[in-house]
Chain A
Amino acid sequence: MFQAGWLILLAIALYVIFYYTHGRYLQYKVVGASPRQQTPAHRMYDGVDYVPANKYVLYGHHFASIAGAGPIVGPAIALAWGWLPALLWIWFGNVFIGVVHDYLSLMVSVRHEGRSIGWVAGKYLGRSAFYAFNTYIWFSLLLVIAAFGFVISALFAKVPGAGVAAFLLIFLAVPVGLVMYRTKLGYAAGTILSIIFIILSIWVGFIIQTAGVFSLGFYEWLGILTVYIILAASLPVWVLLQPRDYMNAFILWASLVLGGVALIALLATGGGAMTFPAFTMFSANVVGGQPSPFWPAVPLIIACGALSGFHSLVSSGTTSKQLDNELHGLLIAYGGMETEGFLATMVVGTMAAFGLPAFISAVSAAVKSNGALAKLLSSIAASLHLPAGAPPSEVLKAMAANPAVFGKYYAILASKVKWVVIPGSYGYTLNAAFGIPVAVGTVFATIWITAFALTSLDTATRLARFTWQELVEPLRQRSPGLYRVVSNKWFASILAVALGMSLAATKQFLVIWPAFAGMNQLLSSLALMTIAVWVIRATRATRLGKALVVAPAVFMWATVTLALLWYEAAVVPVYLAKGGTHTVTGLAVGGITALGLALNLMLFALWLREVRVKRMVPAEARSG
């Protein structure tokens, strides 16, 4: 059988080749990047905001900013279609669409004095595009809170040791911050403390996990998270967010290197064979547990890793102000996105190779106490023609060997065991490669995923507060009294958290995640449209170059539009018909995506109008 390590090597080869061909082409033939063209970091140098940064340093920083829990969770769900389709979307989505989006967002911003893509969208597509941009962001943020609130609570309920460790890490971030910011010991001491504390937390988590002395349910964790996120988002950034962000960077790089090296090392021993099916079926049961056509539904599952709209904010909001030389943009944004694709590849590899033992241990542990899981397991057994009392390991092995059954039940079963199989398979990978106890690797991977998700909750709440302010702004004149209430900081925080967390509480992850991914893709679609107008209007791109930008923009727009239409038609009604909380969930996600869709259609009309207009090459492009 095919070993996961090859995927890692193949991915590296693919990313390097595309970097030097496709990337270089975008750089020279589309953007017309030149080292002689002054970047905003130089033109507007102030030593604080606009500062030219070393390109490797900026690459690391950019990657740490864009990477989160998104590229881990999405690809893991997509395995329902088989690892090959998931991987193909990650690879080709990444190199044809994702990198174009990230790299050109950066370069557009560089050519617009470091302005954000939202601002540029307003300039090229009109004011309504700017409002649409804000609306997408706000609703995405609600769904970020919902999706990550679910993932964290679910994982902590299954790996309570990691829950303790993660909160230990939160408390330990405070002394790290105190040492780093309030003493002269600085980042060096901060680094040493961070590493010690991370290892300490993993060790404590491991002890608690194996001792089995502590556990909390999903709803208890969700409650804790709700309190945590409202408090965390109201603290000054230096107390918690900043030191946590610092510690997360170490966890990120460690997990990436450890996972990648483990899979490659396993090649030598013949380990890491992928036991999950390469391809199951075109319409596996994924979104909402319903049969979901791979195309167009895949971007509702794999967003980050292939294409993520939020990256345009980092590219155009922060990185563009620090770019030293236009030629560095390729490494930083193109390379940064490829690195995220690599991260997603690693997740697919570990899941495909070690998902089976992870499933077996997760299901065996839970099946006795979980009636619904037992029922699901016996229907899987029935469709595999196994006797009803067959042990979980036998059923799961047979399921992995049967693509059709796997495609039908994978996502539903993984949801039933709360996706603990993601950190679980990582634990088994490290165990197979380095002999690290599975529980240690599992705790580490859970901390890795949840550390990012926890920081996401914090930043999403802060960002939601701000975006909400922008959205209610029209009320200021029309209804000042109402405006005063709704523009209150606590109102804005609690609104976003309450809505997000109530969605998480429905546990309907398979319908929440696609809504989040969909909104995220709408955001990226708007960025791509903006980029395309800029390329057509303001650059001297070759015909092929234009095609390399316009085609992904159109393809992505069509895909995500179709995907959301399908979602509205095939998934939402199922939920509406179920009654009770399901109906409410269906209404919520259906309503949000319908709003997104409507804006998307409007934007496309604007976009068509703009790209059709024949204009002289603007001065900006001539001077470049």
Chain B
Amino acid sequence: MRLPAPLNRFLEHLRLALAGQAVEYIEAELRQLETVFATLVLGSLAGMPTPLSGAAARLAPYMLPEIMAMLEEAGRLDDLIGEIGGLFEPT
């Protein structure tokens, strides 16, 4: 059955909206976890003591997404209220 185009578009938007609404907080939490992970692993490369730069070097090649999340997060460290406040809006 073919639906008329506007209805199709509406349903697609609804799908996107529902899918987005369903994971907003989880996505934010995931990004935080990835940042923590990258900081722990690459701490030695970033000047924090960790016992194992050898192990860090083994993991690093696969951690591009986490490293990017960490760097981006670091760039926003002076604006955390925007991060957190936008997410946990209470009124």
Question: CB within 8 Å of B: which residues of A?
Answer: 44, 46, 48-49, 53-54, 56-57, 60-61, 64-66, 68-70, 109, 114-119, 133-134, 137, 141, 144, 180-181, 186-188, 190-191, 236-238, 241-242, 245-246, 249, 303-304, 308, 310-311, 313-314, 316-319, 456, 459-460, 462-463, 466-467, 470, 520
Check A116–B91 contact: CB distance below 8 A: no
Given contacts A119-B82, A463-B84, contact A310 B25 (CB under 8 A): no
Q: Which residues of B contact A115 (CB under 8 A)?
A: 76, 79, 82
Check B89–A313 contact: CB distance below 8 A: yes
Q: Which residues of A contact B13 (CB under 8 A)?
A: 54, 56-57
In the bound complex, CA of A470 to CA of B78 (Å) = 11
Check B91–A144 contact: CB distance below 8 A: yes
Determine if B57 is an interface residue (Cβ-Cβ < 8 Å): no
- Least distance between B11 CB and chain A CB atoms (Å): 12
Q: Which residues of A contact B23 (CB under 8 A)?
A: 242
Check B89–A310 contact: CB distance below 8 A: yes
Q: Which residues of A contact B27 (CB under 8 A)?
A: 48
Determine if B46 is an interface residue (Cβ-Cβ < 8 Å): no
Check B22–A48 contact: CB distance below 8 A: no
Check A116–B16 contact: CB distance below 8 A: no
**Cross-chain pair count, CB within 8 angstroms:** 140
- Least distance between B6 CB and chain A CB atoms (Å): 12
- Least distance between A114 CB and chain B CB atoms (Å): 8
Determine if B26 is an interface residue (Cβ-Cβ < 8 Å): yes
Other-chain residue from A66, A242, A316 in contact with B22 (beta carbon distance below 8 A): A242
Most chain A CB inside 10 Å of its own CB: which residue of B22, B25, B29, B30: B22
In the bound complex, CA of A118 to CA of B78 (Å) = 10
Task: List, sorted by A's number, 28 A–B pairs whose CB atoms are closer than 8 Å.
Answer: A53-B20, A56-B13, A57-B20, A60-B21, A61-B17, A69-B91, A70-B91, A109-B82, A116-B79, A116-B82, A116-B85, A144-B91, A237-B28, A238-B25, A242-B22, A304-B91, A310-B89, A313-B89, A317-B81, A317-B82, A317-B86, A317-B87, A318-B87, A460-B90, A462-B88, A463-B84, A466-B84, A467-B81
Q: Which residues of A contact B89 (CB under 8 A)?
A: 65-66, 68, 310-311, 313-314, 459
In the bound complex, CA of A304 to CA of B91 (Å) = 8
Question: CB within 8 Å of A: which residues of B?
Answer: 13, 16-31, 68-69, 72, 76, 78-91
Check A456–B91 contact: CB distance below 8 A: yes
Check A61–B21 contact: CB distance below 8 A: yes
Main secondary structure of the interface of A (DSSP, over half): helix
Other-chain residue from B19, B30, B68 in contact with A187 (beta carbon distance below 8 A): B19
Check A245–B88 contact: CB distance below 8 A: no
In the bound complex, CA of A218 to CA of B44 (Å) = 55
- Least distance between A55 CB and chain B CB atoms (Å): 9
Check B90–A141 contact: CB distance below 8 A: yes
